[in-house]
Amino acid sequence: MPEAFIYTSSPGRIVFGSGISVKVAEEVERLGCARALILSTPFQKNDAEALAKDLGEMAAGTFTEAAMHTPVAVTEAALKIYNETKADCVVALGGGSTIGLGKAIAWRNEAPQVVIATTYAGSEVTDILGQTEKGQKTTVRDPKIRPETVIYDADLTLGLPVAMSVASGLNAMAHAVEALYAPDANPVTSLMAVEGLRALKSALPRIVEAPDDRDARADALYGSWLCGTVLGAVAMSLHHKLCHTLGGGFDMPHAETHAILLPHTAAYNAAAASAELARATELFGGDLGGGLYDFARSIGAPLALADYGLKESDLARAADMAVQSPYKNPREITRDGILALLRRAHAGQRPI
Ligand code: NAD
């Protein structure tokens, strides 16, 4: 039996299924809205325009310039279109970058949000917004940032490239691993975390084998929903702080950095949180860090930070930055410990 805990369920409506995106109009109406501004990145422009066409009069317009790390200048440009087109809600179609733009708009003008999530990053179910201005990334948390409605339609993820699917899936798994040893973990988030890990562990190899396997895609989205939910519910530790340091300080790509670091951060904390991690450890053959590394390798995931432009000479500075502000973590964060972890992740070695 757990000792005392606090569990707050997050509000939000989840609409899950294959072919379900035809329900966007219904969901917009359900929020009391009639004119949606459709958001996407340039890469998903065609999908956004097709959705606008389907929505007919209910589409106020499209804004297809969403970019990584939610630059404030892009948000301001989108807000201008939102106002000019007299939109009354946003529909974000895409991954964390597009969802970030929708959240940034909603944080400023309280626009209701419908999100159609097409990666496994999990932003759609959190109240967290990271944005950048003049090279500085800041993070805000606010209930009005959390999207009201999330649509998960596996059909829209069939075209997510395999490499992106693998990295994004491991990004989701990292939320679950950290949720298990979170200082504010509770029985419900832990159940979700283990089930999220199980679903993604089963789905990702099947996606690598057959990217258009709808069942595998649905399992991955289901897992990403669970993992995203725990990201939004409990505090994250070493893994997320380290990824934030490498993303913000060294411009490392989001999903790939998560994918590479996960086996190493899990190994770093494994002994200090062995009870909390027991069910995840069992899932990965009795050695969480090593098991995650072998799993990542078997699905062709990125393994070495060096492959993404991080220089060996950057590692000491990254370790310095990572130990600057203290936070709760199962194992003490030491500069030497972090440097050793980073060295192995940089070289793509199996964690010890
Ligand atoms: P992304 O949104 O940047 O997407 C990467 C590329 O893949 C984009 O060009 C996108 O259009 C394309 N893409 C997405 N789905 C596709 C699909 N199904 N088919 C074809 N192409 C598709 O990547 P991401 O990893 O989802 O998001 C990363 C960003 O999200 C980062 O800025 C990160 O900080 C943020 N994020 C925020 C939170 C949060 O809670 N605030 C959580 C996770 C990630």
* Domain harbouring 151, CATH code: 3.40.50.1970
Q: CA-CA distance, 279 to 101, in Å (whole number)? A: 36
Q: CA-CA distance, 128 to 146, in Å (whole number)? A: 7
What single-letter amino acid sits at 135? G
Q: Output the tens digit of pLDDT for each of the chain's 352 residues.
A: 677 899 988 889 999 998 887 899 999 999 999 999 999 999 999 999 999 999 999 999 999 999 998 999 999 999 999 999 999 999 999 999 999 999 999 999 999 999 999 999 999 999 999 999 887 788 999 999 999 999 999 999 999 999 999 999 999 999 999 999 999 999 999 999 999 999 999 999 999 999 999 999 999 999 999 999 999 999 999 999 999 999 988 999 999 999 999 999 999 999 999 999 999 999 999 999 999 999 999 999 999 999 999 999 999 999 999 999 889 999 999 999 999 999 999 999 999 8
Helices marked H in the chain: 24-30, 45-55, 72-84, 96-109, 162-180, 187-209, 214-231, 238-250, 254-270, 278-283, 288-298, 315-322, 335-347
Check whether residue 223 and residue 88 sit in a common domain: no
Q: Does residue 4 belong to any structural domain of this protein?
A: no
pLDDT at site 352: 86
pLDDT at site 1: 61
Check whether residue 116 and residue 176 sit in a common domain: no
Give the containing element (helix H, strand E) for 290. Answer: helix 288-298
Backbone angles phi, psi at 242, to 5 degrees: -65, -40
Query: Atom of ligand 1 at shortest distance to CA of 68?
Result: 32
* CA-nearest residue, atom 20 of ligand 1: 160
Check whether residue 81 and residue 144 sit in a common domain: yes
Check whether residue 211 and residue 150 sit in a common domain: no
Helix (H, G, I), strand (E, B) or coil at 228: helix
Q: CA-CA distance, 220 to 214, in Å (whole number)? A: 10
User: How many angstroms does the Cα of residue 118 sit away from the middle of ligand 1?
Assistant: 8
Check whether residue 207 and residue 71 sit in a common domain: no
Check whether residue 151 and residue 180 sit in a common domain: no
Inter-helix orientation angle 162-180/214-231, to 10°: 40
Q: Does residue 2 belong to any structural domain of this protein?
A: no
Q: CA-CA distance, 139 to 230, in Å (whole number)? A: 18
Q: Which of 114, 137, 157 is the last residue of a domain?
A: 157
User: How many angstroms does the Cα of residue 96 sit away from the middle of ligand 1?
Assistant: 4
pLDDT at site 39: 98
Q: Is the CB of 116 under 6 A from ligand 1?
A: no
User: How many angstroms does the Cα of residue 97 sit away from the middle of ligand 1?
Assistant: 5
Q: Is the CB of 126 under 6 A from ligand 1?
A: yes
Q: Does residue 47 belong to any structural domain of this protein?
A: yes
User: How many angstroms does the Cα of residue 294 sit away from the middle of ligand 1?
Assistant: 25
Q: Does residue 7 belong to any structural domain of this protein?
A: no
Contact (Cβ atoms closer than 8 angstroms) between residue 261 and residue 303 = no
CATH at residue 257: 1.20.1090.10
CA distances in angstroms from 215 to 25, 138, 235, 330, listed in the order given: 25, 37, 31, 36
β 128-133/136-141 pair status: antiparallel
For residue 11, what is the DSSP state?
Answer: P
Half-sphere exposure of residue 345, counting CA atoms within 13 Å on the CB side?
33
Check whether residue 112 and residue 257 sit in a common domain: no
User: How many angstroms does the Cα of residue 119 sit away from the middle of ligand 1?
Assistant: 6
Q: Does residue 230 belong to any structural domain of this protein?
A: yes
Check whether residue 127 and residue 174 sit in a common domain: no
Give the containing element (helix H, strand E) for 101. Answer: helix 96-109
pLDDT at site 10: 82
Q: Does residue 6 belong to any structural domain of this protein?
A: no
Check whether residue 134 and residue 220 sit in a common domain: no
pLDDT at site 134: 83
Q: Which of 157, 184, 204 is the last residue of a domain?
A: 157
Q: Is the CB of 100 under 6 A from ligand 1?
A: yes
Helix (H, G, I), strand (E, B) or coil at 89: strand
User: How many angstroms does the Cα of residue 29 sit away from the middle of ligand 1?
Assistant: 26
**Which residues, other chains included, contact 46 with Cβ-Cβ below 8 Å and sequence gap of 6+?**
none
Check whether residue 333 and residue 213 sit in a common domain: yes
Contact (Cβ atoms closer than 8 angstroms) between residue 115 and residue 40 = no
Contact (Cβ atoms closer than 8 angstroms) between residue 264 and residue 344 = yes
Ligand 1 pocket mutation, candidates 65, 75, 254, criterion most atoms within 8 A of CB: 254
Q: Does residue 55 belong to any structural domain of this protein?
A: yes
Q: Which of 157, 176, 196 is the last residue of a domain?
A: 157
Number of domains in the chain: 2
Check whether residue 149 and residue 259 sit in a common domain: no
Q: CA-CA distance, 255 to 49, in Å (whole number)? A: 26
pLDDT at site 135: 74
* CA-nearest residue, atom 17 of ligand 1: 160
Domain range for 246 is: 162-347
Q: Does residue 352 belong to any structural domain of this protein?
A: no
Check whether residue 238 and residue 175 sit in a common domain: yes
